[in-house]
């Protein structure tokens, strides 16, 4: 009895320690977000504690501010287009990487993950120089163009699409593909009817992460946007250069809600938790 009680109490202590550690880590992650959300409702213009009162005026002001509205719309356009193109390019690449047996497969795999590893600033500068050189060589208006921005964002969507779809393909039971073929389905039909449904969660996750990576990208976009063409993160940065009122916090809250909403919505249809 005595031994049992001692065991139980030491297990209890262990569990409490684990929970405390987990709670602290969670708080560390969530605290900045909590503060941003809190700040967005402060009444005063200069954020200071304690708040002098609460107000929704910062939220109300956002729709009237062209920079944020235009920034949001541009970011949305860029993210949707870049993700779509990234998927269209990333999916065949993933199939090759997961199923193909060819020399240089590992190298290609690493190459396609590069944009994730290279710091955004470096990528931005490199692309900027690249665009300048191309513009000089071809005399096409590439620098600061919408197309230039899209191609750059495709670059940061690709590592996500390739990585996640490859993981799904590797993880799926290939025997079901053979079953489909033995039942009379050729390669294309097999892919459409059996492989695609099996890796759908991976594709959705790939689209989601590609979208988020593009939507929130600041460092690379800074070098590539043109006059009158700013993405939301850049609009936020530019606003911060002049003012530090809670408008930014309010914009951030909306951005968090937007991304969170997209994640919840996709999770309703596809359980991404199984993939990532």
List residues binding other proteins (CB under 8 A).
173, 175-176, 178-186, 189, 193-194, 197-198
64: Cβ contacts below 8 Å, ≥ 6 apart: none
185 or 237: CB nearest other proteins: 185
147 or 196: CB nearest other proteins: 196
C-alpha distances (whole Å) from 206 to each of 32, 91, 105, 182, 216 are 27, 10, 21, 30, 16
77 or 181: CB nearest other proteins: 181
78 or 199: CB nearest other proteins: 199
> For residues 93 and 191, is the Cβ–Cβ distance under 8 A?
no
Instruction: Please state the closest distance from residue 177 (CB atom) to other proteins, in A.
Output: 9
Instruction: Please state the closest distance from residue 189 (CB atom) to other proteins, in A.
Output: 7
Q: How far is CA 187 from the centre of its chain?
A: 32
185 or 263: CB nearest other proteins: 185
Instruction: Please state the closest distance from residue 195 (CB atom) to other proteins, in A.
Output: 11
Annotate 107-173 with DSSP letters as a single string: HHHHHHHHHHHS-HHHHHHHHHHHHHHHHHHH----TT-HHHHHHHHHHHHHHHHHHHHHHHHHHS-
Instruction: Please state the closest distance from residue 98 (CB atom) to other proteins, in A.
Output: 18
d(Cα 252, Cα 204) in Å, to the nearest integer? Answer: 25
């Amino acid at each position: 009895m005595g031994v049992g009680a001692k065991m139980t109490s030491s297990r209890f202590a262990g569990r409490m320690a684990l929970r405390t550690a987990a709670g602290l880590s969670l708080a560390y992650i969530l605290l900045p977000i909590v503060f941003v959300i809190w700040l967005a409702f402060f009444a005063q213009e200069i954020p200071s504690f304690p708040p002098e009162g609460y107000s929704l005026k910062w939220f109300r002001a956002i729709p009237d501010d062209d920079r944020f509205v235009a920034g949001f719309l541009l970011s949305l356009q860029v993210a949707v287009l870049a993700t779509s193109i990234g998927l269209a390019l990333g999916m065949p690449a993933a199939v090759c990487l997961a199923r193909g047996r060819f020399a240089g497969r590992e190298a290609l795999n690493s190459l396609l993950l590069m944009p994730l590893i290279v710091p955004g600033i470096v990528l931005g500068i490199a692309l900027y120089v690249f665009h300048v050189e191309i513009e000089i060589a071809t005399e096409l208006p590439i620098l600061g163009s919408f197309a230039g921005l899209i191609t750059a964002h495709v670059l940061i969507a690709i590592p996500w699409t390739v990585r996640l779809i490859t993981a799904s393909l590797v993880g799926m039971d290939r025997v079901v593909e053979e079953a489909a073929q033995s039942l009379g389905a050729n390669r294309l039909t097999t892919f459409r009817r059996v492989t695609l449904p099996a890796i759908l969660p991976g594709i959705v996750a790939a689209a989601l992460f590609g979208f988020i990576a593009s939507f929130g990208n600041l460092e690379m976009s800074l070098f590539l946007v043109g006059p009158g063409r700013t993405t939301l993160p850049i609009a936020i940065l530019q606003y911060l250069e002049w003012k530090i009122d809670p408008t930014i916090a309010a914009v951030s809250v909306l951005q968090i809600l937007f991304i969170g909403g997209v994640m919840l919505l996709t999770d309703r249809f596809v359980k991404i938790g199984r993939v990532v």
